[in-house]
Structure 1
Amino acid sequence: MASVAYKKQVSRIVLISGDSDFVPAAKLARREGVDFTLDPMHASIKSDLHEHIDGKRTVFPKPLSKKQSNTNDNNM
């Protein structure tokens, strides 16, 4: 991520993770003018990572819990 941000090879990075290990990369990308979007796949994210993103978006719908799935099966 750092390399493509420095070289201005991308205008947007979408990170599919919520791991705060990516904070330095997010900070660097934003400092270089890259739009940094996060998709945590419905997981919670650390506040230090949330502080360094431009947006948060989840592409896939949240999977049903077993209880919700059983309820839907019984309604058919």
Structure 2
Amino acid sequence: MRLQNELASAPNLALRMGDVRIGGWQVRESAMDKLTRAPRALTANDLKPNLRQKGVDIRIGLDIARLSLNDTVRSLVVVTADTDFVPAFKFARREGIKVYLDSLGKRVLPALIEHSDLRLSEIPTHDEVKRERQRRRRQRVRERRETSATEAE
């Protein structure tokens, strides 16, 4: 909450927050790994709420359009990996606004990159994401083997 308050009061920055809705429950990834190795009944700790934020995309899209039409800005920095912003990016760029994209390292689809003028953080490719997932899987397998070997001693 403190971070949100600081961002909301920062100069030259707009914080847009929507409504949080619970869209059911999902099994945690760590629990899924354990359940696939040794099936058992689910517990409350195995679950997490599937939270969805509603209304933020449209608010930001409207802000981008308003700022573009009013000649209020010459450039925008948008922190997202969400392709729902492509129409807003296109609109702003047609109005002569430079759109800078920062995905905070998350993988984004090519359409979002295509409709931004500059990427501020390195955006991993699909292959890089795939290799990283495989590396993490191998690491987890190694850790499990080490744990099993230690327990066997």
Same fold (TM over 0.5): yes
Distance 1:11 1:18 in 2: 22
In the other structure, the counterpart of 1:41 is 104
Distance 1:28 1:8 in 2: 13
Length-normalised TM-score, structure 1: 0.74
RMSD (Å) for aligned C-alpha atoms: 1.1
Q: State the 4+ residue runs in structure 1 displaced beyond 6 angstroms.
A: none
Corresponding residue to 2:119 among 53, 56, 64: 56
Are 1:31 and 2:89 matched, yes or no? Answer: no
1:50 positional shift = 1.0
How many corresponding residue pairs?
A: 59
Structure with the higher strand share, 1 or 2:
2
Aligned residues with identical type, % of pairs: 36
Are 1:19 and 2:82 matched, yes or no? Answer: yes
Distance 2:108 2:71 in 1: 27
Length-normalised TM-score, structure 2: 0.37
1:26 positional shift = 0.2
Structure with the higher helix share, 1 or 2:
2
Q: Which consecutive residues of structure 1, in runs of 5 or more, have no partner in the other structure? A: 59-66, 68-76
Which has the greater radius of gyration? 2
Distance 2:108 2:100 in 1: 13
